[in-house]
């Protein structure tokens, strides 16, 4: 499974870290520039369509991810999507190979679960691998450094 890193052009140190990390882990990746001239048009059109006004960064972030979802549908293949500050575990490549074979999966949020993060998850894991487990997440408000999206999930998000 290949990865995609969303990165601002001026965030060269973050991209250097991702390049080093992904090459070390043996994960092929592509970079998506988070700088897009059309973001200003999107911002003007969409910043007032939610419960509160959205910031330029929030609108831009959404349209960057939307672009990735369209790529996944076009390529008909799951992809690991990373923010440029995500830190991956040493076994990520092996885990990606195992996860790729799971049927009936649309979306998988990747994150470490520490003591300070408040998340509501299922009591039993759905899948267990050597040193990782997949739980159903019911509520989590602390975001994610990355996620895996399958074409079926990308189609749902786009619709």
Calculated CA dihedral for residues 91, 8, 158, 111, nearest 10 degrees: 30
pLDDT tens digits, residue range 36-57? 767 667 777 777 777 888 887 7
Q: Could you give the CA distance from residue 82 to residue 90 in angstroms, rounded to a whole number?
A: 16
Other C-beta atoms within 10 Å of 70: how many?
Answer: 13
pLDDT tens digits, residue range 6-38? 999 999 999 999 999 999 999 999 999 888 767
Question: What is the per-residue pLDDT for 126?
Answer: 66
Does the pTM exceed 0.85? no
- pLDDT tier, 158 (very low <50, low <70, confident <90, very high otherwise): very high
pLDDT tens digits, residue range 115-145? 566 666 667 766 666 666 666 666 655 556 7
**For the chain, what are the domain ranges?**
3-114+144-158
């Amino acid at each position: 499974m290949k990865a995609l890193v969303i990165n601002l052009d001026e965030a060269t140190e973050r991209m250097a870290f991702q390049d080093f990390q992904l090459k070390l882990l043996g994960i092929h990746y592509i970079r998506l520039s988070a700088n897009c001239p059309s973001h200003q048009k999107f911002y003007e059109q969409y910043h007032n369509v939610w419960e509160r006004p959205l910031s330029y960064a929030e609108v831009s972030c959404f349209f960057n991810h939307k672009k990735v979802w369209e790529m996944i549908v076009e390529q008909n293949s799951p992809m690991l999507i990373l923010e440029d500050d995500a830190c991956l575990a040493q076994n990520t490549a092996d885990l990606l190979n195992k996860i790729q074979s799971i049927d009936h999966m649309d979306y998988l949020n990747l994150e470490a679960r520490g003591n300070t993060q408040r998340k509501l998850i299922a009591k039993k894991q759905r899948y267990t691998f050597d040193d990782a487990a997949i739980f159903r997440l019911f509520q989590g408000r602390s975001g994610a450094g990355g996620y895996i999206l399958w074409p079926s999930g990308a189609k749902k998000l786009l619709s």
